[in-house]
Chains A and B, each alone.
Chain A
Amino acid sequence: MKRTELLQQLQLEGFLSLEQVEPSAALFERAAGSDSHETPIYIRLLAGASAWLITSLLFYLINDLFLLSRSVALVIGSISTVSAVALAFLFQKNSFFKPLSIALALLGQYLVVVGIFDLRLNQHVSYALIIGYELFLLCIFPAFLVRFVATAISAVCAIFWLMASFPFSYDTLFNLLVALYMPLVWLLFSFDSLSIVRRIDQITRPAGYALAVVAHIALLVSILVGMLGHIALVYTQFEFWILYLSLFALILWQLVTIVDSSFAWSDLWVWVLLVLFILVCVAASQMPALLAPLSLLLLAKQRGETILFYLACVFLLLFLGLYYYNLDLTLLTKSLTLLGTGALLLGLRSVLRYLSAEREVLS
């Protein structure tokens, strides 16, 4: 859609008043060509890769220099963090100092975390200090990568803190956290659209990505350790119901919001879709881990997040592959479950297509 068409359409639908159209058009005229200055994805990836390499080298060097006095790490880490923040604010668009500030921030994060642990304080104090430091970085440092890492470290620390505070087993804890983190991911990405204007999304997006990755890795660990992500014949277990029902409720809620915003409840198509979802959830009860990337797929589409979409696809394939190693079920049961679910999905797709075609004919 062209810019003029966009303005006309918005005015037609009453979102723009007639007086606002001209200033809006002038705004586009001023902005013409400015988009070309946005850095393409490959260049940004290259900058990110360089930053990581530099961080690795800096870490190698500092680790080599201060191997015997690791408490110095806290001091160097703090200096590194302060320098990184200063560089980030002074040279926001400089292609040399921006990667350097990211590299320094990442190095600082590592050294401060190691330094805090090396102080041998009470573990609750240590976890609180680390989470506080990371949340500070999340709020202040204007780079996606640093914010992503800060949230990921905070989320992992929260896991260990809970583990230190309550007598949970690894499996219980990981499944509980997936049940907690996944709705949080949804919340972070579903933040009011105007947050993009207020730049709040610059914090919520990396935080959402990090929590999604941590939640899926926690799920992966729980699958690899105890196969609890693929629970079979353990319906009496508390963790199964926490994980399964929370993901079920989350996807159902996502579908309800999608229907509310784009469809009408009176449409038969919508009800067939909901029935399909419930049937798939029943079929997937032997592999509840699959529901997490499915929820992420819906969220990615809902918020137009391409990278999140691919991330969800990768986790979906990974969990599907790991289903092979579920030792509680025979390969025959697993294959029949998959074939049945696949046939169900394809069959109901045909029903949905038929209903869509019928509606188009009627309209």
Chain B
Amino acid sequence: METGHEQEATPADVVRLAKAGHLNRAGLERAYSLVGKLPDRSSWERFFDRALLLLGSLFCLVGLIFLAAYNWNDIPGLLKIALVALLLCILTIAALQRGLDSMLGRLLLGCAAVVIGVLFAVYGQVYQTGADSYLLFLSWMLFVIPWACVARWSPLWMLVMLLANVSCCFWLAQVISPSVDIPFSFYLLCLGVINILCFFVADLLAESGFSWLRAYRFPSLLFGVGLFCFTLLMIRWFDFPLSEAPQLYSQRGSRLVLEEHGISLIGTLAYLGLLVFGFYYGREQRNLFMLSLAILSIIAVSTGFSFARLERIAVVASIVVILAESAFAISWLRKTVSSWEQALI
């Protein structure tokens, strides 16, 4: 078992020393530097190096997007496309030259992935294709996927997922909605299903050798986005009290309201399944982030229920219920974390 001396020193240890009167002000500052709470020279150099790289890339990218948005008339259309394509090539070659294992190489490839979108936008500006905007995001996503596979860097996959979600929303709104009147719940259901499916795929891949996918909590974030969609779906369902159904039917059309209820019913079953899975997976994988998200979702849904359905006196009851929920959840989570730590020791 690890003794107190063998443990990593933390800022709390430094405070303990200072409180016991063993350190003066200068000693405290130095001890903070040694445990990494306050930066020393090398830490500052690393910080400035990364900050300048990130800020410089960000400013250049935003400047490029502004330039594309300016739609400069003095530059011929083909030249505009060629300039953006040239930048794309330069960024990609530079990324490959630096190596995709280095932070700079990955960042350059990330910039190139953003420039792909700029290229499509400029193309659309020059040729006025009249295509729906979901096609822009979908093509952008499809072109970024091979790069994300090569880069083995989860932020690029986050960009892919963001584009997938945006494409899906635009596709539903621009292609499906004009012919079939889609209830809002359907959007939430689609986004929820997409993100949860991607979570399963990402988690399976991470288990089978692609462990870099776990960086920046990518699978957990996908689960969080999916759960957020289903939570919104549940809260939204409470906005359709059955007692007011006739009025709603006349306002919105009975078919649409019935569809909304049907989708919400499917969503409820999926939500319950997701919660059970979230608790099981969170405990098995020792993922506190997922456990906290699942509990927060339950609290949000119960609050939504109390706001939509309950009278004044029941609000008091719901306050007590939320207090009890949060107190129980916090105590349970603490015990769970403590049991994990005990198991580790």
Contacts and interface: CB of A to CB of B under 8 A. Distances in A.
Interface in B50-84: 51-53, 55-67, 69-70, 72
A57 B319 contact: yes
A28 interface: yes
Interface string B21-56: 011111111111011111111001101110111011
B316 interface: yes
Nearest to B320: A54
Nearest to B330: A95
A25 B69 CA distance: 63
B97 to A, nearest CB: 15
A218 B229 CA distance: 33
Interface in A109-160: none
A10 B29 contact: no
B9 A1 contact: yes
B330 A356 contact: no
B86 to A, nearest CB: 14
Interface residues of B, number: 91
Nearest to B53: A349
B23 A46 contact: no
B60 A262 contact: no
Interface stretch (A70-78, A177-185, A244-252, A326-334): A326-334
A348 interface: yes
A302 B51 CA distance: 14
Interface centre among A20, A38, A57 (most CB of B within 10 A): A57
Contacts of A261: 29
A64 interface: yes
A2 B330 contact: no
B125 interface: no
Contacts of A9: 34
Given A61-B315, A342-B60, A342-B63, A15 B292 contact: no
Nearest to A15: B27
Nearest to A64: B312
B98 interface: no
A95 B331 contact: yes
Interface stretch (A168-176, A189-197, A202-210, A227-235): A189-197
A333 to B, nearest CB: 9
A263 B41 contact: yes
A167 interface: no
A174 to B, nearest CB: 25
Nearest to B338: A36
B327 A99 contact: yes
Nearest to B5: A4
Nearest to A258: B44
A358 interface: no
Contacts of A100: 323
Nearest to B22: A20
Contacts of B57: 342, 346
B9 A6 contact: yes
Contact of B55 (A4, A56, A57, A345): A345
A1 B19 CA distance: 21
A338 B60 contact: yes
B58 A16 contact: no
Given A46-B333, A57-B322, A192-B25, A25 B5 contact: yes
A261 B19 CA distance: 24
Interface stretch (B10-18, B129-137, B168-176, B266-274): B10-18
B73 to A, nearest CB: 11
Interface string A268-306: 010001001000000000000000000001000111100
A47 interface: yes
B55 to A, nearest CB: 5
A15 B52 contact: no
A196 B56 CA distance: 36
B129 to A, nearest CB: 22
A32 interface: yes
Interface in A341-358: 341-346, 348-349, 352-353, 356
B154 interface: no
Contact of B319 (A42, A61, A262, A338): A61
B20 A27 contact: yes
Contacts of A339: 59-60, 63-64, 67
A86 B132 CA distance: 60
Given A24-B20, A57-B319, A332-B67, 19 more contacts: A1-B36, A5-B9, A6-B31, A16-B22, A23-B20, A31-B12, A43-B288, A50-B326, A54-B323, A96-B324, A335-B64, A335-B66, A335-B69, A342-B60, A344-B56, A345-B55, A345-B59, A346-B53, A352-B52
Interface of B: 3-20, 22-32, 34-41, 44-45, 47-49, 51-53, 55-67, 69-70, 72, 288-289, 291-292, 295-296, 299-300, 303, 306-307, 312, 315-316, 318-319, 322-327, 329-331, 333-334, 337-338, 341
18 contacts: A20-B22, A29-B5, A31-B12, A43-B288, A43-B330, A46-B295, A50-B299, A50-B323, A54-B322, A57-B303, A57-B319, A193-B32, A261-B29, A301-B39, A330-B70, A335-B66, A343-B56, A353-B49
